[in-house]
Amino acid sequence: MKEPRNIVWLKRDLRLNDHLPLLHAENAPEDYLIIYIFEPSALSYADSADRHQQFVYQSILEINNKLNSFNRKVELFHAEALEVFTYLIETYNVKKVFSYRESGIQMTFDRDIAVGQLLSKNNIQWTEFQRDGIQRGIKNRKRWDALWYEHVNEEIQEITITSPHTQTQTHTHPHPVFPLSPELQSMLSNYSPSLQKPGENMAWKYLQSFCEERGKNYNRHISKPTESRKSCGRISPYLAWGNISIRQCVQYIINHPNYKSNKRAFDGLITRLKWHCHFIQKFEVECAYETRCVNRGYEALEHENNPEFIQAWKDGKTGFPLVDACMRCLHETGWINFRMRAMIVSVLCHHFDCDWRSGVYHLAQLFLDYEPGIHYTQFQMQAGTTGVNTIRMYNPVKQSQDHDPEGIFIKKWVPELRDVPKEFIHEPWKMTEMDKMLLGIELNYPHPLVDLEQAGKAARIKIWGHRKNPEVKEEGRRIVATHTRNTSRKRKSNAKK
């Protein structure tokens, strides 16, 4: 006779606190298993990178270390979700499945539909909880802001983990099935020390250090590529993989003793936490952001798509120092600030005249904090393919002069330029042979791929001209009706209540 079990299916919610699926599993009469599935289809998908899976794995190791004293663990499977749930149904009398909804790409949405059909066929109840105030099935954004504030102000319920109800080893499946392959196990264990350390403990350390000291210069340094690495929240990877929740962050920040003395800076971070959810909500409603222009009128816009330009951009060898420094920094650390992200997308799509899809998966793989709902919506906004947002075309030289005036960030990540004086660091191509001789510099750095002024002018004419296209205008009206929020001052004030 099969033993009754409930299942907690972890996805992007790798924590033990403020976790509704786990709370409901603990309160149910049946015992439960906690599972995480490394799906081959997801591992091989274009948006996936080793660093993502390693972050997940290390987060789970931390969870298991905490669960060990309760004779529990997160069971790891290496198979497709349907295979795993079929096995669990055959092995146990599965009563209920608890998880968070995943606002993911079309592939994971289709997977969830298939899993739901399997569970329904076997009379198994699947409860999917709302994640971070993101709502499924809405047609517009009426009352979204008010509901988001209600969500983040809800009481966080403490979860008490208990040991399995029976004396048998109910926290493990009886036979080793779908184990991690040796190759996958090796990859997952090889996490780079240059990346932020994963896990719930580190999430709280970053949030606490922001509120205690780092965050006081948040607004002043947010756009600076070097200074932002310290003064920004740096909690985005932990939010992306669910080591901490939006609600936990908002309540911790507002209730911190330093809130009053750093109100402007702390409110700035809270505002961006709300933006975080705002963009994920866009993707939840329209996940086609991943593969096509959200404004269909821009599908008709032609691009040069020079493969040499695209590869140079990926490798950090464009000849524009700040662009190259950002790309190399991403390869090594997985993080740069928002303005630098916007700039490198702008240069690819506008100055290099490349379709946004030529770089969107590459950055998805580099960003340690890759969150589909933010990544694709922001990428298209910076590429100018929404038809409703202001087109922001970032001049990489001006950004460099404004935000890295001494070239500190550039010289750290582009060693070829370490001996270049600051008067040339933003435009090293302006150095004459005489300048190089007098300075004793042998410059081994590429010339810019394009003339910045000419490329920028051509891009502006092209992108602004296309906004007059009738289909762009019609699609723009649809996008505004579907995705625009009500941002009244009254609702903004709710965050402080």
Annotate 143-208 with DSSP letters as a single string: THHHHHHHHHHSPPPP------SSSS-TTS-SS--SPPPHHHHHHHT---TTSPPPSHHHHHHHHH
pLDDT of residue 495: 44
Q: Are strands 4-9 and 74-78 parallel, antiparallel or unpaired?
A: unpaired
DSSP string, 298-364: GGG------HHHHHHHHHT-SS-HHHHHHHHHHHHHS---HHHHHHHHHIIIIIS---GGGTHHHHH
pLDDT in tens, the chain (497 residues): 899 999 999 999 999 999 999 999 999 999 999 999 999 999 999 999 999 999 999 999 999 999 999 999 999 999 999 999 999 999 999 999 999 999 999 999 999 999 999 999 999 999 999 999 999 999 889 999 999 999 999 999 889 999 997 644 444 555 568 999 999 999 999 999 999 999 999 999 999 999 999 999 999 999 999 999 999 999 999 999 999 999 999 999 999 999 999 999 999 999 999 999 999 999 999 999 999 999 999 999 999 999 999 999 999 999 999 999 999 999 999 999 999 999 999 999 999 999 999 999 999 999 999 999 999 999 999 999 998 888 889 999 999 999 999 999 999 999 999 999 999 999 999 999 999 999 999 999 999 999 999 999 999 999 989 988 999 999 999 989 988 765 543 444 444 43
**The two structure tokens encoding residue 43:** 């591992």
Per-domain boundaries in the chain: 1-129, 200-285+484-496, 293-466
pLDDT at 488: 47
d(CA 340, CA 325): 10
CA distance 491 to 306: 46
Fold of 1-129: Rossmann fold (3.40.50)
Phi/psi for 78 (5° steps) reads: -120, 85
The residue among 263, 458, 274 whose CA lies nearest residue 374 is 274
Displacement of CA 132 from its chain's centroid (Å): 14
CATH code: domain 200-285+484-496 is: 1.25.40
Q: Give me the architecture of the 293-466 domain, per CATH.
A: Orthogonal Bundle (1.10)
* pLDDT, position 175: 54
